Amino acid sequence: MVADARRAAASGALTLRLLVVSNGHGEDAIGARLARELLERGGAASIAALPLVGEGTPYEAVGAEVLGPRRRLPSDGLTLHHPLLAWHDLRAGLVGTTLAHATALRRARPDAVMVVGDVFAQGMASLVPARRVVVQPLVSVRLADGGASVALNRTFMERIRAPERALMRRAAERVYARDDVTAAWLRSRGVAHAVFLGNPMMDGLDGSRLPVPAHARVVALLPGSRSYAHASVRRMLDGVARLGPLHALVAWANGPVPAAHGWSVAPGDGDGVLEVWSRGGAIVWWVRGRFADVLATADAVIGTSGTAQEQAAGRGLPVVSFPVVPAYSEAFLANQRRLLGDALRVVPNDVEAIAAATAEALTDGHHRAVARREGPARMGPAGGTARIAADVAATFAAPVLNPRRSHGAP
């Protein structure tokens, strides 16, 4: 039966109308990548997406219809990371936006749903009476290493708790875990259909080296795409300026390049390089749309972006990070440290500390060797997108085994 389903998926015989529900910037990117793969392999006839955070731009890029209200709240999806962020979101219409999302989900009539996200996304998806699979790219049992936080606001951020496991067990036909140890842990706790087929975050990262001098030391600056990126990139640049001759590549996705206080500015070459700054021996390229090339060129990374620096670590690069409170908190960084191990070094939000850690990441052979080993081991190999998409197509091509799941029963 499974073999027949795979042949149907491969032959393009499916007429599936799929809805993707996701809740986060990284989750949107994963959902869009899976959507494109499913459309290309004939695993779905049409795909719509309902992003619970942000505007769903990645889905538009792959031709998916975007449903629901498309609002970007002040926290950019980090509502529970700090009381101040929750307050700003509430004032900006969080309750109304959530209710509008719920209404859109109740009205949706897809043949099947693919959830990319945590327990909140899974709970919201339960409003849709359709078959379901879950991609959980956020939580790993590795988060329990060293004692995960027990703060109430982080209850579901650091563990797959009983309510989430119940949703997975009763309503999802397939659960795609972040890593193999988490898939095994879920199976041991009754989620028999949990599997690990690879990490979609590691796909699409085969870049080409940018034309920096071959002998240059190169640091990638990954400030992220949230509102704090302007503050964090300033701190990174102040650190870079203390390191002597090097090239820094800013992966910038936040509108116009900021004002160059204290730096000399020249125009970029038009091939994704927006501007070139210089000060002392440091040369900074502001780069847009060439993230994989930035990683392919870098020797080390300074980052304040969750997904991007996980991808950098997965490529074997040593990563230095620091908190930008309240959005990019110490608790979040402690989580990432447990996920990435010694591939990530966390330092205070202090220019001298950032500069010292970056200098070590560039020159310390042992540190670099550990990062090359630890990061890829923690993140897994590329190829997860194709494997998960093939399995999703086969799952939905096969008859439903549990009639309750065909109605999204929780």
Here the CATH number for the domain that contains residue 123 is 3.40.50.2000
State residue 393's pLDDT score. Answer: 96
Residue pair 186/177 in contact by the 8 Å Cβ criterion: yes
Whether residue 149 is found in the same domain as residue 275: no
- Are both 15 and 150 inside the same structural domain? yes
Looking at the structure, tell me whether residues 166 and 315 fall in a common domain.
Answer: no
Q: Decide if 209 is inside a domain.
A: no
pLDDT at residue number 70: 81
Same domain as 171, residue 61: yes
Q: Does residue 142 share a domain with residue 13?
A: yes
The range of the structural domain enclosing residue 75 comes to: 2-203+382-406
Same domain for 144 and 61?
Answer: yes
- Let me know whether 290 and 365 are in one domain: yes
Residue 212 lies in a domain: no
Residues 306 and 177 in one domain: no
pLDDT at 14: 62
Residues 319 and 229 placed together within one structural domain of the fold: yes
The pTM score is 0.88
359 and 225 both lie in a single domain: yes
Query: 213 in a domain, yes or no?
Result: no
Total structural domains in the chain?
2
| pLDDT for 74 | 66
Which pLDDT score, from 0 to 100, does residue 146 have? 53
Nearest Cα neighbor of 247 from 286, 209, 212 is 212
Tell me, yes or no, whether 330 lies in a domain: yes
Q: How far apart are CA 216 and CA 233, in angstroms?
A: 21
Q: Which of 201, 222, 207 is nearest to 381 (CA)?
A: 201
**Splitting the chain (410 residues) into consecutive groups of 10 residues, what average pLDDT does each group show?**
44 77 93 97 93 91 92 68 71 80 94 96 96 95 62 59 94 96 96 97 96 95 93 97 97 94 92 95 97 98 95 98 90 89 96 97 90 95 96 91 52
Query: Which of 245, 302, 300 shows the shortest CA–CA distance to 278?
Result: 245
pLDDT of residue 270: 80
Do 70 and 175 belong together in one domain?
yes
User: b vs e for 54-78, b when ≥16 Cβ sit within 10 Å of the residue's Cβ?
Assistant: bebebbeebebebbbbebebbbbbb
- Domain assignment present for 358: yes
How far apart (Å, rounded) are the C-alpha atoms in residues 121 and 119?
A: 6
Please check whether residues 236 and 171 belong to one and the same domain.
Answer: no
CA dist 218 and 297 (Å) reads: 7
pLDDT for 6? 47
